[in-house]
Each structure stands twice: as C-alpha cells, then as structure tokens.
Structure 1
Amino acid sequence: MIYPLENLTYTEFENLVALICSEILGTGTVVFTDGKDGGRDAEFNGIANKFPSKSKPWSGKVIIQAKHTQRNNASCSESDFQTILKTSVIPAIQKLKERNKIDFYLLFTNRKLSGVQHPKIEDIFDGKTEIENRVIGLETIELWLKQYPTIAKTLNLNKLLLPLSFDENDLKEIINSFSKIDKKKGNLPEIPERDIEKKNQLNNLSKEYFNNVIKKKLIYLDQIREFLMDPINSEYLNKYENTIDDINEEIIVHRDDFDKFDMIFNYLYKFIIDNNPELSNNRNLVRLFLHYMYYNCDIGINE
C-alpha cells in the first residue's frame, strides 16, 4: 500500500521517521520536541539493531533529521532541496561535529531519490563533513512501511487514503467564471454571527493555518459573496449550495479520521486539483473558495 506522505504534517512525518528508527536502530531512539533542534529531530546512541546491516551495524551517536515536503512527486534533485542541504543541513552537521555530538547521520525525506542522485548527495556530506551518512528517500520509506506494518497502524496512515470526495465539477464551473472578473481587495468581511475563534476551536483548525493562510485572504471574500448573490449568477449559487452540502456531508462522515481541519483543507484542495488539472492556473482560487466556505460558516462545525 502506497501512502501519500505529502499529506502528513511536519510533526507527523517526524513521528513516522522516529518509529522507523526505533525498528532499524533501536528503541533507544530519542525524539526531540518541536522548535530549534540544532540540526537533529532525533538521535540514537549505541549499537544499531540492523542498520546499515545486521553484520555491520552502526555503533555510536546517530543523528536523525527529517525533511518533509507537501509537494507531490518532489525529488531530491530539485534545486530547493539542494539549497536546504547546503544552507541548513551541512552547517548543522559541522557544528555537531565540532561539539563531538555526532558519529553518523541519517537524513529522511519524502522526496523521490534516484540511484544517480543518491551517491551525489552522500558525496556532498562526505566532502563537507567527513561524517558517515545515509539519505533515506521516499522509495525506502515506502519499503519499510511494508516491512513494518505496525508503524502505519500506529500513525493511522489509512486516514490519508480516505475517499473524502464529491462532485467537484460544479465548483470548477464557479471558479472558472469567477476567475474572469477583476479581483479587487475589499473591506474586511464582517465576522459571522458565530465567533470565528470559537469556530476554529470547534473544528480544531490551528491558529497558524488561520492566521497565515486564511486571514490574509479575507479581503477577497466579500467579492465572492457579491458574485454568488448577484441575480445573474443564480445558476452558480445553486451549484455552490449543492457543493457545500456534498462537502459538509463528507466532512461529517470522515471527521474523526482527520486530526486537524488544516488537513481537510489540504485534502480537498489536492482532490480538486488532481481531478481537474485545468484548474492549476487558478489554484489560488480553489483555496480561496474553500476558505470562503469555512469562513462563511457553510462547511465545518458552527455550534
């Protein structure tokens, strides 16, 4: 079974890495709390169970780092990942080495890692740090998830496979029509009758997501409301109402399988884009309409 690991949060991916390391290194794997980690998300000190092999396991201080991306089909060969290695990862290893805090280094990423790219990355580490290292890409993580099925069960990775779906064609028509009008920044929309902070608490929407993703787009929400309420767009209003009914039912049925509402937004967005590649040029509007549905109290728990 292949899980869309890009749909995990960063913390969930770190937990996944920690559980894998508990299997291949040992239960002595220590996980650090969120925050400044000094170039390490976890560490293991001792003789590894079976890594890199049972016959020649690592013995010493193993530093473990997780680098997660929410982009589907991301690759280790891309420039942004190379930048992360050069500006963040390698300097952190060098500092750990200066303090005698590292013997071996394990880097996990949910990016694809080709047989050509793998030795090149390890050569970068070898040349810059002289620390024995391994880079674990998406393919190896998927293999270990099959080898250690209890990890997927512990983290409830099946939630990533839920068929939270609806007929998105009506929404596609609405977005395509809305995309043709001039976008104007309006006044901040009035807070709905229900306290939006209370709504966020009821739906377990993180403050980070609301403040950094939704809040800065509120200036456009009045324009969506005007568009939908214009009598000339009554057909689109009907399509919109059918869509929010469908989405709300899916959310209610599957709500317990998602930790935060952030993940529901992420899932719905990817579902719409994956099924409608022609919307990729208007993907900002896909998010905007989903956020409008939430802020307008059309989806999610309101009381």
Structure 2
Amino acid sequence: MKYAYENLSADQFETLVTLICQELLGISVQGFARGPDGGRDARFEGTAQLHPSAAAPWKGRVIIQAKHTNGLNKSFTESDFYSSGSTTTVLAEEFPRIASLKKRGELDHYMLFSNRRLTGNGESEIRNALSETCGVPTASIYLCGIEQIELWLKRFSEIPNIAGIDPIDSPLIVSPEDIAEIVSAFAERRDGMFTILDDPPVARVDLATKDRLNGMSDDYSKALRRKYLKDTEQIRTFLAAPENDELLQAYEAAVDEFELRIIAHRKNYQSFDQVMDYLIDLLFERDPILRQRQHKRLTRALLFYMYWNCDIGTKEDDHAPTHEALAS
C-alpha cells in the first residue's frame, strides 16, 4: 500500500524514519533532535539488530538523517538535492557536518532517508561522493529512497498505524488567507454535497498540450491526474454555487496572486513541476492551517484545479485555436 509521504510534515516523516530504524537497528534509536551545529539527527549506538544483516550487523555509532520534500515524484539526483561538484545542494551543505562528526569520533555509520526516488546509479554516485568527501567507508553508508521505504513498511506493517499516516487514497478531511478560507469551507461542506465521482470529469482543454506549453513533465502530470482529477468536478460545483460567491471571489484573488508570482519566478525554474512545488511550499510556509496534514491534500487538489481549469499557467487558447479532449 502506498502512502502520500508528500502530505506528511517534516516531523511526521522523521517519526516514520525513527520507527523504521528502531526495527533495523534497535529500540534504543533516539529520535530526531537539533544538535549544536544546527542539524537534526537521530542516533543509535551499539550493535544493530538487522542492518545490514543479522549475520554481519553494524557496530558503533550510527547517525540518521531524514530529508522530507513536499514535491511529487522527486528524486535524489535532482539538481537542488544532489549534483556532482555543487556546493549549494541539500546534500552538499550536509557534507561538512557529516565529515565533522566522523572526525570527532561521533559517527561510524551514516543513514539517509528521503521520500524521493533513488536509482541504482544515483545511489552509487551519492554514496561514493559521501565516502570521498566525509571519510566514511561506502559499506558504512546507507541511502533509503521511497521505493525501499515502501518495502520496509510492508515488512514492518504496524509502523504506519503507530506513525499515524493514511493511505494515498484516504478521503479529504474537514489557508495565504484566500486559499485557507476556501479549503476550510470546502472541507466543512463537502460531505453534504456528493461523493467523489468514480469517473473523472470531461476536461475542457487538451491537458497534454497545456503540459507541453508549460513545460510540465509527463510523470508529474500523470501523478497529479491520478491523485486529484477526480476532485475537480466537486471543486467546480462548490465554487459555482450561488451561496459561495464570496469564496469564488477569494479563489479569483488567489489566482491573480499566483499568476503574478508565476510570472515573477518562472525564470528561476526549468519546469512547471518546480513552479507547482514552489507554490505548494509558499502556501504551507505562509499558513499554519494549510500545512497541517489533514489539509494538505485538499490544498494540492485546489492548486491542481487552478492548473487544470486554465486559471494558472500558459493557456492553450493563447497559442492555438482549438480545444481537444483530455489526453489519456
């Protein structure tokens, strides 16, 4: 069963990683806490129970880090997270800390978990870079991406319940301020409207063309459609209801703000995937209600609706005279 890790907070993801490590290393794994150098680590000292195997376990001091992202379909080898030779990526900024811990004798082994995809080539490249830069043997480095996390949760099936995470298709639960108002109102009134449609609605534009014009990747677009397309008709009906006229005005104000921000920041991003992630991060940072886990999915659904409804992003009718059915 897959989980919406992007909807977890950083603290919730750290709890999930701590529970996995307690199974792999031992119950004495100490949860994440901020150290004197500003980093957040979990720690274990002793002989591991299962890692890398019960027959040949790690012994000594283990430092564990968790790197959570709000983005969808992210990978370890994206330029902001790790890039060979760069000194400004997420991992490059951690290298001096890891090297310092190793030099002071506080680290014998290192584990890094992230809700990102990790390929075999990427794993080898990053592990070698960590080893060469930080002085930690490659055999003492463990990188864990989303695929392996899924396998651990299948093996240790009680962890999701303990960590309090829900399946990816869990129902929406009943905001910058305009979005928060819409999210809260929609969540409160949703049960009285109608259930989520089993079949997606008919799209009013050729989404494949829109993706091409905006530079959104196929994988990112498919993930958005799979997760949120079924919600668009419900959101449309909600915003169109006469009693929700003030909320529609709030929606239009939010669209105007986002369009201006997209224009101002578009040059900083190579793909519209990154633009969407920028907007999500902006919303979660600016409003404490939106970044609560129970509101994250609805916030993402509303942002997808803005894109799907051609309220944000380059529109097809700005470049072409025809509209086609939704690409499968």
Pick aligned residue for 1:94 from 88, 91, 99: 99
Tell me which residue corresponds to 1:296. Answer: none
Q: Which amino acid in structure 2 is aligned with residue 104 of structure 1?
A: H
Indicate if the aligned counterparts of 2:48 and 2:58 stay in contact, CA closer than 8 A.
yes
The one-character-per-residue Cα deviations of 1:43-87 (angstroms, maximum 9, x if unpaired) are 110110111112211101000001000111111111111111112
Tell me which residue corresponds to 2:149. Answer: 141
Tell me which residue corresponds to 2:53. Answer: 53
- Write the mapping of 1:1-303 to structure 2, written as runs, cut at 5 A: 1-33=1-33, 38-82=38-82, 83-87=89-93, 89-131=94-136, 132-158=140-166, 161-164=169-172, 167-170=234-237, 174=248, 178=252, 212-214=285-287, 262-274=292-304, 277-279=307-309, 282=312
Deviation at 1:158, TM superposition (A): 2.0
Q: Which amino acid in structure 1 is aligned with residue 114 of structure 2?
A: T
What SS class does the counterpart of residue 51 from structure 1 fall into? coil
Cα distance change, pair 177–100 in 1 and its aligned pair in 2 (3 A): closer
Query: Whose helix fraction is larger, Structure 1's or Structure 2's?
Result: 1
TM-score (norm: length of structure 2): 0.58
Q: Distance between the aligned counterparts of 2:75 and 2:16, measured in 1?
A: 19
What SS class does the counterpart of residue 19 from structure 2 fall into? helix
Indicate if the aligned counterparts of 1:39 and 1:93 stay in contact, CA closer than 8 A.
no
Q: Distance between the aligned counterparts of 2:308 and 2:168, measured in 1?
A: 24
Indicate if the aligned counterparts of 2:14 and 2:32 stay in contact, CA closer than 8 A.
no
The one-character-per-residue Cα deviations of 1:172-221 (angstroms, maximum 9, x if unpaired) are 775899379976xxxxxxxxxxxxxxxxxxxxxxxxx9995149xxxxxx
Deviation at 1:134, TM superposition (A): 1.1
Deviation at 1:159, TM superposition (A): 6.6
Indicate if the aligned counterparts of 1:38 and 1:92 stay in contact, CA closer than 8 A.
no
Q: Distance between the aligned counterparts of 1:260 and 1:94, measured in 2?
A: 37
Q: Distance between the aligned counterparts of 1:18 and 1:177, measured in 2?
A: 39
TM-score (norm: length of structure 1): 0.62
Q: Which amino acid in structure 2 is aligned with residue 128 of structure 1?
A: T
Cα distance change, pair 281–135 in 1 and its aligned pair in 2 (3 A): farther
Indicate if the aligned counterparts of 2:22 and 2:28 stay in contact, CA closer than 8 A.
yes
The one-character-per-residue Cα deviations of 1:226-263 (angstroms, maximum 9, x if unpaired) are xxxxxxxxxxxxxxxxxxxxxxxxxxxxxxxxx98733
Q: Distance between the aligned counterparts of 2:284 and 2:255, measured in 1?
A: 27
Q: Distance between the aligned counterparts of 2:91 and 2:130, measured in 1?
A: 9
Q: Distance between the aligned counterparts of 1:177 and 1:60, measured in 2?
A: 55
Tell me which residue corresponds to 1:290. Answer: none
**Structure showing greater relative contact order (alpha-carbon pairs closer than 8 Å, 6 or more residues apart):** 2
Aligned-residue Cα RMSD (Å) equals 3.3
Q: Distance between the aligned counterparts of 1:18 and 1:180, measured in 2?
A: 38
Indicate if the aligned counterparts of 1:273 and 1:279 stay in contact, CA closer than 8 A.
no
Indicate if the aligned counterparts of 1:47 and 1:60 stay in contact, CA closer than 8 A.
yes
Indicate if the aligned counterparts of 1:52 and 1:58 stay in contact, CA closer than 8 A.
yes
What SS class does the counterpart of residue 267 from structure 1 fall into? helix
Q: Distance between the aligned counterparts of 1:51 and 1:179, measured in 2?
A: 52
Tell me which residue corresponds to 1:294. Answer: none
Unaligned runs of 5+ in 2: 83-88, 173-195, 197-230, 241-247, 258-281, 314-328
Deviation at 1:170, TM superposition (A): 3.6
Deviation at 1:94, TM superposition (A): 1.0
Cα distance change, pair 52–275 in 1 and its aligned pair in 2 (3 A): farther
